[in-house]
Amino acid sequence: MSRHEGVSCDACLKGNFRGRRYKCLICYDYDLCASCYESGATTTRHTTDHPMQCILTRVDFDLYYGGEAFSVEQPQSFTCPYCGKMGYTETSLQEHVTSEHAETSTEVICPICAALPGGDPNHVTDDFAAHLTLEHRAPRDLISF
């Protein structure tokens, strides 16, 4: 997979574009290509304040993380859908949300489901902390004896 098949940019309407894709974690099904994201595209519902998840294609994964400078154990970093802080792993995002946003019940889109191949790209949840615990418990936690 070298392109975002079936996805078009909601600002310039370019379809199946290459490179980075930015998905809004507040607006349902709102994606931007890298150049629109960088130019700060907005709509009546979407503002640049909305947290966005950067999603890479398989080819970009290899381009960005194929070198030895990057850890292959963390091929994708996640954005907190509440405060927009970036760079979390599944585990650290779970810890962050549990400690910082336990009282929050705003509907958000799960950045992990959106970024993972084969995940639901628009999984909306109003209890993100519980969703993380139920759906994204890190596999290594389950195989510790």
Among 7, 9, 56, 109, the residue binding Zn ion under the rule CB under 5 A is 9
Q: What is the rounded CA–CA span in Å between residue 50 and residue 31? A: 12
Compute how many other C-beta atoms are within 10 angstroms of the C-beta atom of residue 70: 12
Q: What is the spatial distance between Cα 129 and Cα 136, in angstroms, rounded to a whole number?
A: 10
Which residue from 8, 12, 74, 77 is in contact with Zn ion, where contact means CB under 5 A? Answer: 12
By beta-carbon proximity to Zn ion, the closer residue of 69 and 102 is 102
Which CB, 66 or 117, lies closer to Zn ion? 117
Q: Binding residue for Zn ion (CB under 5 A) from 4, 56, 60, 82? A: 82
54 binds Zn ion (CB under 5 A): no
Does the footprint of Zn ion cover residue 50 (CB under 5 A)? yes
User: Residue 44: exposed, middle, or buried by beta-carbon count in 10 A (0-12, 13-18, 19+)?
Assistant: exposed
Is residue 115 at the binding interface for Zn ion, with CB under 5 A as the rule?
no
Angle between helices 128-135 and 90-100 (to 10 degrees): 150
Binding site for Zn ion (CB under 5 A): 9, 11-12, 24, 26-27, 33, 36, 46, 50, 80, 82-83, 110, 112-113, 135
